[in-house]
DNA sequence: GATGAATGAGACTTCATTCAT
DNA sequence: TATGAATGAAGTCTCATTCAT
């Protein structure tokens, strides 16, 4: 699976055939289809594996005591996770945007699905209720959450494309940026 | 080409084989390879076509007289463009993230390439020089530009996944968000 | 047809598609299929054209009065003809060795067909009957004829592959060679 | 590979598609591209295989002690080899005259290449130096070598076209012919 | 006469998958 | 467990041919 992840990162999902992965792993093709009923299941395993890793990683976030700290922690933790598993994250991004069912619909990626934004929206809601953030209407919270999330996801792309990408700095800047964006306006 | 764009939008780049495109267009496969030397050239045409459309569209932005207005206009215009050519934009996104050369490197998409962020960075620089934005260090400008751009690109994904996506609202919110993020801090 | 001949010479029969020929001629593909019912008929015309040219050329040979002169004249005339129509001859060689019917049998080239050797065999027979050549049994005459013919055909290949090929010299040498081979032995 | 050779012999290089070969072999097309990366490599293998066979076969020739015997042995051995591997030889002849690169140039067959004539030229040189052959100028030796070679190559064509072709007789006659052609003239 | 669009067959190749060993 | 042979579907591309204009 590690080699599969590397391969997908290097040459993309479409080119990452079982033959290619096997060649890079120095084993026969058969050994892959022996361990995984199908290519799709291999991919599913890679995706689920990352979710498991992610779940434990993300549990830290909830420990913060203020909305502002929690937002900061959300960004930090997500970017740390991406840094810690950069290839895995990039591979899953490839899989998620390419695996489709027979009808052609994406299986994993549901851009219309709001679930991914829910935690962020909750933080924002909490923050504006307790007065630590500026007033944020539900619509604004939604868009803010989308923006934060897309900025985080961008880090993964940058990281694989450019090994010198400075994640620490990016995190610091992103936190500062969204603090400015949620801060109460001047009187 | 229109059918090709539709097909890529519907079932993704990888599944959008010449056979599929031809079937949807109600013509024979040969008719496509007759008009385009190869599939790659068809894709290239689709990409270039969008760039041409985009270039004329974007020229409006430069006409604004303040950095703040220009940033607003940048966001507005980009989102209008995405709305006006939603399928084409989505198809190009698919192409750009999937077409690779023999070595496996992406041909069109260069995440490490900074060129796309330059216009935004210039706006931000201008704005902080003339005092209409808060002080923004070069690093911050870079990250801010990346964030704005990724929020804009997200709109395209949302639009194809969800026909009810309200672009007007999204634009309004995004403008407001980045105004808050660039506004001078309270004293 | 001239362009077709050139094309076949340059890139071989298999690659000489109607499209290639049309492109080199600067006309549309249609113009070829308009003038020739099918590609096969175009090829047939090229072959027949050369036969017509050849027939008039070869008539000179019969005018010689001795077998020895006639053999010399046969070689000379054939090589002159090849030189005069080098591309056409080479193209026909390509066609003759490649055009096959649905069963896969060569249409033009019948290596087992003895017809092509008959004129030479007659010269040799005549020469040994009138005593100007050494005794040559029928089997020997057959092989001698085959050898002469293949040496002549070789000239065409050499000519297209090597523009500096000296045909005059080759003719002189070939004549000398087969004079030595047919000369009466020393007592 | 054996079936490929048979197929090429039967229906020619151009018609000998992987599909045809597979059908005759009673296997699926995939099995061929499984064992050979590409059709070109299959053909290359067939050619190289024959060269290997040929190399060991031809080593016998050098053992002769006189130029005259060596020439005889050269002809004999070559024709024996052709007889022993008639299909393989014929297939390679097809390949050699048809496989071209993208520019249209023959890859294997270089009619302008003199290498193939060198052994024969050396025999002839040797023979005229030690006085067993008539005086043969370099130019004559070249043409003589070409003639011998083309007469030998002709045998392969005859053999596949006509199963009754008598190779033994052909060899005997060819030897006799070229002995006559190299014999010293009468005083 | 000439053109260019269109077709459909067939070629090579890739690939996920199956299976005997 | 692991391998390598084999399969068959699908993909891209080439090409002779047809046909309306």
pLDDT in tens, D1-44: 999 999 999 999 999 999 999 999 999 999 999 999 999 999 99
Partners of residue A158 in chain B, C-beta under 8 Å: 111-112, 146
B52 touches chain A (CB under 8 A): no
Expressed in percent and rounded to 5, the helix, strand and coil fractions of chain C are 75, 0, 25
Is the pLDDT assigned to residue A101 strictly greater than 60? yes
Buried-exposed string B50-69: b where 16+ CB fall within 10 A, e elsewhere: beeebeeeeeebeebeebbe
Q: Which of A100, A143, A173 is facing B170, going by the closest CB pair?
A: A143
C97–D97 C-beta distance less than 8 A: yes
Nearest to A106 by CA among B94, B163, B102, C109: B94
Q: What percentage of chain D carries pLDDT values higher than 70?
A: 99
Nearest to B107 by CA among B91, B90, B95: B95
- The answer to whether the C-beta of B31 is closer than 7 A to strand E is yes
Contact of chains B and A by CB distance (3 or more pairs under 8 angstroms): yes
A14–B98 C-beta distance less than 8 A: yes
Q: Which of A11, A110, A161 is facing B100, going by the closest CB pair?
A: A11
C111 touches chain D (CB under 8 A): yes
Q: Which nucleotide is nearest to A42 (CA to C1')?
A: E16
D74 touches chain C (CB under 8 A): no
Is the pLDDT assigned to residue B186 strictly greater than 70? no
Neighbours of chain D (3+ CB pairs under 8 A): C
A186–B157 C-beta distance less than 8 A: no
> How many other CB atoms are there within 10 angstroms of residue A105's CB atom?
12
Q: Which of B176, B180, B187 is facing A180, going by the closest CB pair?
A: B180
C180 touches chain D (CB under 8 A): yes
DSSP B106: B
A43/F1 CA-to-C1' distance in Å = 22
A177–B144 C-beta distance less than 8 A: yes
CA distance D37 to chain C (A): 22
pLDDT, average across residues B40-51: 96
Q: What percentage of chain C carries pLDDT values higher than 70?
A: 99
pLDDT, average across residues B83-106: 95
pLDDT recorded at residue C77: 96
pLDDT, average across residues C86-95: 97
pLDDT in tens, C20-48: 999 999 999 999 999 999 999 999 999 99
Is the pLDDT assigned to residue A186 strictly greater than 70? no
Is the pLDDT assigned to residue C186 strictly greater than 70? no
**Cα distance between residue D74 and residue D62, in whole Å:** 9
pLDDT recorded at residue B62: 82
**Cα distance between residue A4 and residue A16, in whole Å:** 8
C113 CB-contact burial (10 Å; exposed 0-12 / middle 13-18 / buried 19+)? exposed
pLDDT in tens, B1-14: 999 999 999 999 99
Is the pLDDT assigned to residue D83 strictly greater than 90? yes
Q: What does pLDDT average to over chain D?
A: 93
C174 touches chain D (CB under 8 A): yes
CA distance C165 to chain D (A): 9
Is the pLDDT assigned to residue B59 strictly greater than 90? no
Neighbours of chain C (3+ CB pairs under 8 A): D
- The answer to whether the C-beta of A17 is closer than 7 A to strand E is yes
B42 band by pLDDT with thresholds 50, 70 and 90 = very high
C176 band by pLDDT with thresholds 50, 70 and 90 = very high
State in Å, rounded, how far the first CA of chain D is from the last one: 56
Buried-exposed string A12-23: b where 16+ CB fall within 10 A, e elsewhere: bbbebebebbbe
pLDDT in tens, A119-159: 999 999 999 998 899 999 999 999 999 999 999 999 999 99
CA distance B88 to chain A (A): 17
Q: Count Cα atoms within 13 angstroms, Cβ side, for A96.
A: 16
pLDDT in tens, D103-155: 899 999 887 889 999 999 999 999 999 889 999 999 999 999 999 999 999 99
Is the pLDDT assigned to residue A162 strictly greater than 60? yes
- The answer to whether the C-beta of D17 is closer than 7 A to strand E is yes
pLDDT in tens, D92-111: 999 999 999 988 999 998 87
Q: Both tokens of residue C156?
A: 């065409």
> Which residue is the nearest neighbor of E15, CA to C1'?
A17
pLDDT in tens, B120-145: 999 999 999 988 999 999 999 999 99
Q: Which residue has the higher pLDDT, D54 or C110?
A: D54
Partners of residue C187 in chain D, C-beta under 8 Å: 186
SS3 assignment for chain D = CHHHHHHHHHHHHHHCCHHHHHHHHCCCHHHHHHHCCCHHHHHHHHHHHHHHHHHHHHHHHHHCCCHHHHHHHHHHHHHHHHHHCHHHHHHHHHHHCCCECCCCCECCCCCCCCHHHHHHHHHHHHHHHCCCCCCCCHHHHHHHHHHHHHHHHHHHHHHHHCCCCCHHHHHHHHHHHHHHHHCCCCC
D150–C153 C-beta distance less than 8 A: yes
D11/F15 CA-to-C1' distance in Å = 20
A139–B173 C-beta distance less than 8 A: yes
A115 touches chain B (CB under 8 A): no
C106–D12 C-beta distance less than 8 A: yes
Instruction: Supply angle C-alpha D93, D94, D98, rounded to 5.
Output: 115
Q: Which residue has the higher pLDDT, C119 or B60?
A: C119
Query: Which nucleotides of strand F lie under 7 Å from a protein CB?
Result: 1-20
Q: Both tokens of residue C67?
A: 């077998």
Q: Which of residues 31-90 of A touch strand E (CB under 7 A)?
A: 33-34, 37-40
Residue bearing tokens 């005086």: D135
Is the pLDDT assigned to residue C2 strictly greater than 60? yes
Residue bearing tokens 């620490």: A168
Is the pLDDT assigned to residue A52 strictly greater than 80? yes
Neighbours of chain A (3+ CB pairs under 8 A): B
Nearest to B152 by CA among A137, A143, C127: A143
What is the chain C residue with the closest CA to D154? Answer: C150
pLDDT recorded at residue A82: 97
Query: Domains along chain C?
Result: 37-182 (1.10.357.10)
Protein residues with Cβ atoms closer than 7 angstroms to any atom of nucleic acid strand F: A 27-31, 33-35; B 15, 17-20, 29-30, 33-34, 37-40; C 15, 17-20, 29-30, 33-34, 37-40; D 27-31, 33-35
Query: Which nucleotides of strand E lie under 7 Å from a protein CB?
Result: 1-20
B183–A157 C-beta distance less than 8 A: no
């Amino acid at each position: 699976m590690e080699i599969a992840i590397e391969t997908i990162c290097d040459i993309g999902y479409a080119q990452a055939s079982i033959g290619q992965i096997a060649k890079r792993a120095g084993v026969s093709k058969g050994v892959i289809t022996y361990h995984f009923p199908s290519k799709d299941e291999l991919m599913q395993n890679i995706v689920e594996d990352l979710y498991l890793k992610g779940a434990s990683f993300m549990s830290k976030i909830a420990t913060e005591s203020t909305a502002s700290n929690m937002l900061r922690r959300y960004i930090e933790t997500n970017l740390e996770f991406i840094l810690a598993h950069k290839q895995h994250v990039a591979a899953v991004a490839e899989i998620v945007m390419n695996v489709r069912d027979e009808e052609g619909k994406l299986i994993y990626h549901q851009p219309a699905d709001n679930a991914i934004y829910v935690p962020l929206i909750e933080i924002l809601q909490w923050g504006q209720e307790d007065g630590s953030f500026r007033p944020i209407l539900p619509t604004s919270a939604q868009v803010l959450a989308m923006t934060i999330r897309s900025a985080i996801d961008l880090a993964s792309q940058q990281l694989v494309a450019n090994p010198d990408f400075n994640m620490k700095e990016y995190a610091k800047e992103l936190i500062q940026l969204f603090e400015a964006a949620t801060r109460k306006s001047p009187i």
